[in-house]
Structure 1
Amino acid sequence: MRTALLLLVVGLCTLNVALSLKICAFNVKSFGEAKANNKKVMGILLKILSRCDLCLIQEVRDSKGGAIQALVKDLNRYDKSNSYSYLESERLGRKTYKEQYVYIYRNNVLQVKEHYQYPKLEGDGTNETDVFSREPFIVRFHSPTTLIKDFVLIGQHTSPKTAMKEMDELYTVFKGIYKKWKTDNVMILGDLNAGCSYVTIKGWRSVRLRSDDKFHWLIGDEQDTTVRQKTHCAYDRIIVHGREIISSIVPDSAQPFNFKENFHLTEEEALEVSDHFPVEMKMLMKKKKKKKKKKKKMKMRMKLRMKMKI
């Protein structure tokens, strides 16, 4: 009898973990026409993206806009059980080098409430107030099925040379969101270049996202978000703030997704897709109210099982 009860509890726990919303961030490394026309690469990208309810794509270098359209169109064909939409930022960057942030999400699961591009400053970045190489793209989502109904995502891809300065400035971005939308349930995610030679122990002390213990770094410094075997760096991160969002996270769900191992790729094949692994975490779904009839049926089944064992 104890064994049967134990199996029932384990089964229910597994079910609760499965009923979750997955949020991902993925630096796809120069995604444009060339990758969109590569069937093998696109096939792997579809496998990766179809695992996520919401994914922030970084390093989109698609000046014509056709590559992302093709990707989302193929994704809708690949995963017919869901419906995908996307939301893209302005083309960002200093001088001629430009990138975009793109949120790809299941519109049958999530809704976009509001969004805005963090203000860009004129100039070439030499001005001290012009901190970001690619200004954050901020989106407020509504999620009817999760414990937390509304949350804000700050997508960011820092420049390696100014990674620590940009990470610190994200604190100012957070404060602006709180003032604008009156919410502190915020997630910062993306390739922050927050590891190896781009950060220092002394420098971390000046990063307000680290010194303020209300910000929780879900991807730890010891983790590896890089594809190459010779590197071990936690460049890509997920950082959360807010009591509601923190309490709705599935414990230990935040991790890099090693698509090289999971899809049995060589390093060379994986690098064709990206030199980064996606990072991901899960949010708990709200519990459905059980009907009394279902409870009675469960009790009857348990009694029958006990009689059969006797």
Structure 2
Amino acid sequence: MRRKPWIYLIILAIATSLVGCGVKDANEIVSDLSKRSEELESYISHGKMTIHTGQEPLEYDVEVWYKKPHFYRVALKNLKKDIVQILLKNDDGVYVLTPHLKKSFRFQSDWPASSGQVYLYQTLLSSIVDDQQRQFQTGKKEYLFEVAAKYSLNQNLKTQRIWLDENLYPKKVDVLNEDNEVMVNMVFDRFKANASFDKDAFEMQRNLNSLPGKSEQTMGKLQGAERSKESVEAVTPGYIPSGSRLVDEQTIQTPDGPVAIMRFKGDQSFTLTQRHPQAIEASVTAFGQPVDLGQTVGVLLEIAGKKRLTWTDNGTDFELLGNLSTEEMKQIAKSVFEQPLK
């Protein structure tokens, strides 16, 4: 019996529609993400990060540049203070740059492999691929994964929800604590894969000079060498570990200006120093990593068995040195923000 041609057309149309409408399951998407993490050559992303761990939300404008194999440039703009800091990684090491102060701090680190960040595509990819207990939902034009949070420097973050668009690029991330409260939210508004960069895009000096000028407010606060000679209006931490107390406080004069020193003794002894910022390039051979302190980005180093956390805020350089856990050091540092001057 001879079949009519239109029957074949119907069968072909049905088969084609079934293939075209096929929705990938979680395993297929995870496989695609694993391949992408290996094959990713470069990208530029942009979005807004909101941190809910303080008394009021902190908002950052975040732009990320990445170029294979290990070049990163992350520009973090504190929207409230209108201040930009740059995390930079190139062949020379990892830098924390504060362009409006012309400050650079270079150290050796395996960042971001050792301490992922919510705004880095690679961190999100590895979080999904590595979590065998992942949960998955699919929408019309997006995919949602719920996985364990991979942020070693903040043990309070337990899970994260990662939304990817139909091309498997990031749309949104919520990071939650053990009570399922959103502590960090990242919303991406741009993502460009296979981006091209200038030859010097990841060089330190170019990025240190990346700001076109300084605001009058910044210039009023910081007057270079003249400012460095003024007295230091020290700030006492709002949080002091249980069993520790302030036993000594003094200000000493150095060739670069006064330095306020607070010594705390007890179960967990530590020292906090404060001074006016110097427009300098600092470089250490110690192994360390950048630390998100909410208001600013600090540098955590381990030197001779002790931890050293440094950061700059509100026209002051801070250095915290002691035998403390990373969480305790971060809590002390964060408690300094918004504290009244002595």
Q: So what's the TM-score if we normalise by structure 1? A: 0.25
TM-score (norm 2): 0.23
**Hey, which of these two has a bigger chunk of strand by percent?**
2
**Bigger RCO (CA 8 Å, 6+ sep):** 1
